[in-house]
Structure 1
């Protein structure tokens, strides 16, 4: 048998024609003079804003990396010998922020221990300012001036009493407060220890009395004698003034008065 010949299939490849998209070129419009001036002004504003931001960042960096000792040397502290009624830390800060905004630091008010009136809650206070010059200016200008406010408010007629503390820093105040706390703590410990000693002595005497009563009952039950403890207290002798002596004193005083006023 003759071999079977396979027919080769001829596949014709169709050449795909590339699709060419026509891109319309947009006509370039030339900017006007007004637009150019606006762009220049915008660029200048952007440059100024960037310069200010850089300066602010530099200031923040210098403040952040500033030596705390040097920063503390620049500060000043003023002292309030009297705190107006109904005034607290927030109200004092708001009052002084009006005259020197951004310069008020820490404020501490001492509680008034001599009264329970909530309006007179504080007796004295201290306020820290970031610069000595501002602290001196506030102490000089606001001292002995009326607090002000509404006429109906009784505080409006009161006067400020402020003093600038030369050479005094906030650290000194904290040290003083810490020292006072330690002294108060030690005093309380001494008082508590003394109260405990008194209570222990009282309890010991009670136990001793119970023991003596039991011993007394035991001795009496066995038919013995029990001598009760009696304290030997010497009583002072009473002084009786006789009527005759009192009459003599009255006559002598009357004679003396007659001699004077004759």
Structure 2
């Protein structure tokens, strides 16, 4: 009887009826456990507690990806990871940092999942697996290299990035100061003029 009723509804409305656990587009809806994890995550991270205390209140999982392609930004990475589990925060290492000295223009990235067990499972399933199966994708032929970081807190990463940015800024300022003082040093100017004369 249920099958006949669904057929009558489809004929009446002209649309197929959605199954249990699916949305109108046929995409699987998040489970009750995922909804509880997301609600708990939002409740803790929207509170006025300090960041260190908030991360203790809700156990999240962080994954390190060591081979993010140059053309993949944080939004693209978050969209891909959201297909597997609910993502909290994403950070992709910028090219301007001094630590961006890897081969083939690969960068590091950190992905925070609201479920610690889900992060462990994703790291095991996706490690050494293709980024995409599409033949026309720009990431074709590339493999994921990721690992789960136990007892890793997000503020460890933010502190490290602040330090690297400060070091990069100090290095840029020191180079600019050396260039500026070079032209005002009479000894350096005489040496430079002698070198120019030798070249002539």
Q: Same fold (TM over 0.5)?
A: yes
Correspondent of 2:174 among 186, 190, 197: 190
Aligned to 1:179: 163
Within 1, Cα distance between the matches of 2:139 and 2:47?
Answer: 43
Correspondent of 1:155 among 139, 158, 161: 139
Aligned to 1:109: 92
Within 2, Cα distance between the matches of 1:62 and 1:110?
Answer: 28
How far the C-alpha of 1:173 sits from its partner, in A, is 0.7
| Mapping 1:103-252, distance limit 5 Å | 103-112=86-95, 123-153=107-137, 155-202=139-186
Within 1, Cα distance between the matches of 2:69 and 2:173?
Answer: 35
Within 1, Cα distance between the matches of 2:136 and 2:43?
Answer: 47
SS at match of 1:160: coil
Could you tell me whether the CA contact under 8 Å between 1:143 and 1:162 is conserved in 2? yes
Could you tell me whether the CA contact under 8 Å between 1:110 and 1:122 is conserved in 2? no
Instruction: Give TM-score scaled by structure 1 length.
Output: 0.46
Structure 2, unaligned stretches of length 5 or more? 1-35, 191-200
Correspondent of 1:79 among 41, 64, 83: 64
Could you tell me whether the CA contact under 8 Å between 2:70 and 2:107 is conserved in 1? no
Could you tell me whether the CA contact under 8 Å between 1:109 and 1:124 is conserved in 2? yes
Correspondent of 1:97 among 54, 64, 82: 82
- C-alpha spacing 1:171/1:156, structure 2 compared with 1 (3 Å): same
Structure 1, unaligned stretches of length 5 or more? 1-55, 207-262
How far the C-alpha of 1:122 sits from its partner, in A, is 5.8
- C-alpha spacing 1:69/1:190, structure 2 compared with 1 (3 Å): closer
- C-alpha spacing 1:131/1:110, structure 2 compared with 1 (3 Å): same
Alignment RMSD (CA, Å): 3.2
Instruction: Give TM-score scaled by structure 2 length.
Output: 0.59
Within 1, Cα distance between the matches of 2:48 and 2:74?
Answer: 28
- C-alpha spacing 1:147/1:154, structure 2 compared with 1 (3 Å): same
Larger Rg: 1
Within 2, Cα distance between the matches of 1:186 and 1:91?
Answer: 31
| Mapping 1:40-79, distance limit 5 Å | 63=44, 64-65=46-47, 67=49, 68-73=51-56, 74-79=59-64
- C-alpha spacing 1:160/1:62, structure 2 compared with 1 (3 Å): closer
Within 2, Cα distance between the matches of 1:200 and 1:85?
Answer: 41
Indicate the structure whose relative CO is greater, using CA pairs within 8 Å and at least 6 residues apart: 2
Number of paired residues? 143
